[in-house]
Amino acid sequence: MTDTRRRVKVYTLNEDRQWDDRGTGHVSSGYVERLKGMSLLVRAESDGSLLLESKINPNTAYQKQQDTLIVWSEAENYDLALSFQEKAGCDEIWEKICQVQGKDPSVDITQDLVDESEEERFDDMSSPGLELPSCELSRLEEIAELVASSLPSPLRREKLALALENEGYIKKLLELFHVCEDLENIEGLHHLYEIIKGIFLLNRTALFEVMFSEECIMDVIGCLEYDPALSQPRKHREFLTKTAKFKEVIPISDPELKQKIHQTYRVQYIQDMVLPTPSVFEENMLSTLHSFIFFNKVEIVGMLQVNFLKEFCAFSQTLQPQNRDAFFKTLSNMGILPALEVILGMDDTQVRSAATDIFSYLVEYNPSMVREFVMQEAQQNDDVSKKLTEQKITSKDILLINLIIEHMICDTDPELGGAVQLMGLLRTLVDPENMLATANKTEKTEFLGFFYKHCMHVLTAPLLANTTEDKPSKDDFQTAQLLALVLELLTFCVEHHTYHIKNYIINKDILRRVLVLMASKHAFLALCALRFKRKIIGLKDEFYNRYIMKSFLFEPVVKAFLNNGSRYNLMNSAIIEMFEFIRVEDIKSLTAHVIENYWKALEDVDYVQTFKGLKLRFEQQRERQDNPKLDSMRSILRNHRYRRDARTLEDEEEMWFNTDEDDMEDGEAVVSPSDKTKNDDDIMDPISKFMERKKLKESEEKEVLLKTNLSGRQSPSFKLSLSSGTKTNLTSQASATNLPGSPGSPGSPGSPGSPGSVPKNTSQTAAITTKGGLVGLVDYPDDDEDDDEDEDKEDTLPLSKKAKFDS
């Protein structure tokens, strides 16, 4: 489809003075060689065929009615009308018509078919605006004569209509009507009848809207009861209020729809029963009244259909799944989505709201169906655009999903209730979790490619428009709410769309624009911006990291942190958590970037250790870079510290767990066979190893190991290397040197009085704690987490088994 602003229905007036629908299409204006002039062209939206080709004749009278209608006559008894979907489109075409005819676009009628002399035209054009007499009982006759004398001249009718409209004159006349009725002033009532009848013949939509309002319409009908040609006044008001009854087959809860039905009925009654039968001349002057009634009926039918369909969709939620599926499939086959697209483009907020509810039911039922429709629509638009380009006609594509985004952005509700609902629908549509994958195609790939090409720029438009400076250009509450919704959806995309959103953010510099919102006076919006960046950092993607470092995108965050001062609030905690994540996850590139560029601003923050921890990480990185051999050795030790042959481990574990615990003597510290040095020339099978261990245990010549209390934990200082012999008792080197944490040091696990200490007379020897068959040579702080994990695993074993491992 092309731009909905130019979407129109073409009507012609038939012999019965009824409007016939000739089709729906898109209107444009351009020079037509065959007609030798600027013309109005309407092409059918279904196949591009020509519905209307009408030259804008300088002498044709065009009328603009109800803001969305343009009516004119091309020949005798051949009236045409264009009904626009949007007021903006009607205004554009009206300006083109007025430009060709040299008229001011502010007028509602360009000229009239009635000829007038050049002298009269000159007099009317040179005279100032029409001045109306004061609205008083004594001057009603003068007012009636002025209205009657203005009807033959189009320019005088135009001036009279403008005067009546600008001065609020009709309401003043209706106030006089009440006075005349109370005073039973029949002469004044007869004058009011002539005045009101004359106003009808002015054929002006703006005046009709005042006269047919709920406040005025019954008084207008009252004025028309006092026809001077009748001996007694008619009782039209009594009939409408007491005799005519409004019957609802289905209850109508929409007050606007009810009001429109009552208004249309009363205006139709005025046309058929109240106004006298018009002459041929007067009938042409009442064309606006006919159009008013006709398009009111069109609007009522549309509102009824939409609301009925909305109730039907709500009712379908109580059906069995099979019946509900059949219902929605029927709606889809009948073209519900194209119809909703048209309705969503209307100015009527009530109808749009109902259409949004119907759309939400469809998205909830089958989001893939909606996605397929919008992708097909995009392809059709591309084809139509090519044809229009060949004809040198420009167009702007409005897709269904873009209409949804625009309505979300343009929601006038201060609480943005509709925008929140629409954002939820968009989130469902872009959620990869409910996208289908088949053998031939992947819905995720196709739809996300379409969305980022055709729709993402519409979604981010308010964000980009509001972040052109160092702080938000608009920072009112409603704008902040809207931007928070946009950021919520973008954050969702960062989490679920890896490739597409990454390219979009980096190429469009979206993160920098988002971080401008950190300067917002609304804390919730600043936190939304911070959450967006935190989600990006959480991905630990070096493409993102390089983009952040290159653009110095920590600067807005650090500024916000410093501006927050010492306040302990959500902003403070969220920023610290982000830097803590960088430290814990050891994101080296970001750690270096933060310390090198922002350390001076953060070094005085001492109520948390996050930033000092980052500095330590940075220094460790520098140390490793300066000593690559040491870094290489640490990597080797960490990677191979407890590595064993998988098959040997399985055999030994099987053998050990099958060992009878009763055979173990109290106080023996069992050392796994893997702790013995394995000679390449003498590798025994698991059974031989087991038997050898049994023999060694039973031998009287074996060395008796020191009995130890297994409840204590050995100090890391005891992680020493084993010699190439069998099980031995080693003298603790740590006790000789009295290192911290050694048995001789105060408070160490091996010192007297501490848990797990050894008797005094055996302080020269200690059992060696081994782990996994190999003992580490160096204990690094980075390995503490690995040690803790191993301890957790040990805690899950039975106590007797744990004792064997700890010995």
For 733-758, what is each residue's pLDDT tens digit? Answer: 333 333 333 333 333 333 334 333 33
Residues 493, 447 contacting (CB under 8 angstroms): no
Residues 42, 25 contacting (CB under 8 angstroms): yes
Looking at the structure, do residues 477 and 569 belong to the same domain, yes or no? no
Which is it for strands 50-55 and 62-65: parallel, antiparallel or unpaired? unpaired
**What does residue 800 show for φ and ψ, rounded to 5 degrees?**
-65, -40
Q: Is residue 679 part of a domain?
A: no
The segment with the largest mean pLDDT, out of 231-245, 285-299, 531-545, 683-697, is: 531-545
Continuous H helices in 658-776: 686-698, 733-737
Last residue of a domain, one of 236, 269, 302: 302
Last residue of a domain, one of 302, 330, 362: 302
517-534 confidence digits (pLDDT tens): 999 999 999 999 999 999
| Overall domain count for the chain | 4
Torsion of CA 148, 154, 155, 159, to 10 degrees: 50
Joined tokens for residue 169: 């004159």
CATH number of the domain bearing residue 57: 2.30.29.30
The DSSP code for 679 is B
Only one residue has tokens 């001011």, namely 104
Torsion of CA 97, 101, 106, 107, to 10 degrees: -100
Q: Which domain holds residue 406?
A: 319-384+397-523
CA dist 65 and 90 (Å) reads 10
CA dist 303 and 261 (Å) reads 11
pLDDT at 576: 95
Residue 446 gets the label, from left (phi > 0), alpha (psi -120 to 50) or beta, of: alpha
Stronger pLDDT, 98 or 676, i.e. the higher one:
98
Joined tokens for residue 130: 């029409």
Q: Which pLDDT band, with edges at 50, 70 and 90, does 688 fall under?
A: low
Joined tokens for residue 86: 């949007």
Instruction: Indicate the range of 63-77, 131-145, 488-502, 518-532 predicted with least confidence.
Output: 63-77
Residues 418, 411 contacting (CB under 8 angstroms): yes
Looking at the structure, do residues 341 and 469 belong to the same domain, yes or no? yes
Q: Which residues of 648-684 are buried (b: 16+ CB within 10 A; e: fewer)?
A: beebbeebbeeeeeeeeeeebbbbbbbbbeeeeeeee
Q: Is residue 56 part of a domain?
A: yes
Q: Angle at Cα 270 formed by Cα 267 and Cα 273, nearest 5°?
A: 140
What's the order of all strands across the beta sheet hosting 7-13?
50-55, 37-44, 19-32, 7-13, 78-84, 69-75, 62-65
Q: Is residue 768 part of a domain?
A: no
Alpha-carbon dihedral sign for residues 632, 633, 638, 643? positive
List all residues 6 or more positions away from 733 whose beta carbon is below 8 Å from its beta carbon.
720
User: Letter for the amino acid at 649?
Assistant: L
The DSSP code for 144 is H
pLDDT average, residue stretch 124-139: 73
CA dist 295 and 300 (Å) reads 9
Looking at the structure, do residues 338 and 409 belong to the same domain, yes or no? yes
Q: Which pLDDT band, with edges at 50, 70 and 90, does 692 fall under?
A: low
Ordered DSSP codes for 104-129: -TT-SB---SS---HHHHHHHHHS--
Looking at the structure, do residues 503 and 572 belong to the same domain, yes or no? no
Joined tokens for residue 16: 């019965």
CA dist 213 and 264 (Å) reads 11
Last residue of a domain, one of 101, 127, 159: 101
* Through-space distance between the first and last CA atoms of the chain, rounded to whole angstroms: 81
SS3 28: strand
Joined tokens for residue 595: 């310390």
Residues 572, 584 contacting (CB under 8 angstroms): no
CA dist 673 and 683 (Å) reads 11
In 391-487, the DSSP E strands lie at none
Stronger pLDDT, 296 or 699, i.e. the higher one:
296
Looking at the structure, do residues 496 and 561 belong to the same domain, yes or no? no
HSE-CB for 705 with a 13 A CA cutoff = 22
Joined tokens for residue 584: 């814990």
Continuous H helices in 138-203: 140-150, 154-166, 169-183, 186-201
535-575 confidence digits (pLDDT tens): 999 999 999 999 999 999 999 999 999 999 888 999 999 99
Q: Is residue 698 part of a domain?
A: no
Joined tokens for residue 726: 């069998």
Looking at the structure, do residues 175 and 293 belong to the same domain, yes or no? yes
User: If we measure between CA atoms, which residue out of 127, 216, 213 comes closest to residue 173?
Assistant: 216
Q: Is residue 704 part of a domain?
A: no
Say if residue 417's pLDDT is above 70: yes
Looking at the structure, do residues 232 and 167 belong to the same domain, yes or no? yes
CA dist 152 and 256 (Å) reads 38
Residue 334 gets the label, from left (phi > 0), alpha (psi -120 to 50) or beta, of: alpha
CA dist 176 and 678 (Å) reads 120
Looking at the structure, do residues 508 and 380 belong to the same domain, yes or no? yes
pLDDT at 479: 93
Residues 721, 775 contacting (CB under 8 angstroms): yes
Looking at the structure, do residues 332 and 418 belong to the same domain, yes or no? yes
Say if residue 145's pLDDT is above 50: yes
Q: Is 215 exposed, middle or buried (0-12, 13-18, 19+ CB in 10 A)?
A: exposed
575-616 confidence digits (pLDDT tens): 999 999 999 999 999 999 999 999 999 999 989 999 999 999
Which is it for strands 19-32 and 37-44: parallel, antiparallel or unpaired? antiparallel
Instruction: Indicate the range of 135-149, 306-320, 513-527, 541-555 predicted with least confidence.
Output: 306-320
Looking at the structure, do residues 450 and 360 belong to the same domain, yes or no? yes
Which is it for strands 50-55 and 37-44: parallel, antiparallel or unpaired? antiparallel
CA dist 124 and 667 (Å) reads 125
Instruction: Indicate the range of 204-213, 440-449, 543-552 predicted with least confidence.
Output: 440-449
Only one residue has tokens 């650090």, namely 558
CATH number of the domain bearing residue 516: 1.25.10.10
Q: Which residues of 55-84 are buried (b: 16+ CB within 10 A; e: fewer)?
A: bbbeebbbbbbbbbbbbbbeeeeebbbbbb
Looking at the structure, do residues 176 and 273 belong to the same domain, yes or no? yes
pLDDT at 245: 85
User: Letter for the amino acid at 33?
Assistant: E
Joined tokens for residue 73: 């006559």
336-346 confidence digits (pLDDT tens): 888 888 888 77
SS3 83: strand
List all residues 6 or more positions away from 381 whose beta carbon is below 8 Å from its beta carbon.
1, 2, 397, 399
SS3 603: coil
The DSSP code for 20 is E
Percent helix, strand, coil in the chain (nearest 5)? 60, 10, 35
Ordered DSSP codes for 66-79: TTTEEEEEEETTEE
CA dist 23 and 13 (Å) reads 14
Q: Is residue 274 part of a domain?
A: yes
Looking at the structure, do residues 294 and 331 belong to the same domain, yes or no? no
CA 339 to chain centre: 22
The DSSP code for 24 is E
Residues 516, 454 contacting (CB under 8 angstroms): no
Mean pLDDT of the chain: 76
List all residues 6 or more positions away from 326 whose beta carbon is below 8 Å from its beta carbon.
none
Give the H/E segment covering residue 496.
helix 477-496
User: If we measure between CA atoms, which residue out of 674, 673, 697, 704 comes closest to residue 767?
Assistant: 704
639-675 confidence digits (pLDDT tens): 554 455 544 445 555 554 555 444 444 444 444 444 4
Alpha-carbon dihedral sign for residues 522, 523, 525, 529? positive
Q: Is residue 720 part of a domain?
A: no
Q: Is residue 121 part of a domain?
A: no
User: If we measure between CA atoms, which residue out of 539, 547, 475 comes closest to residue 510?
Assistant: 547
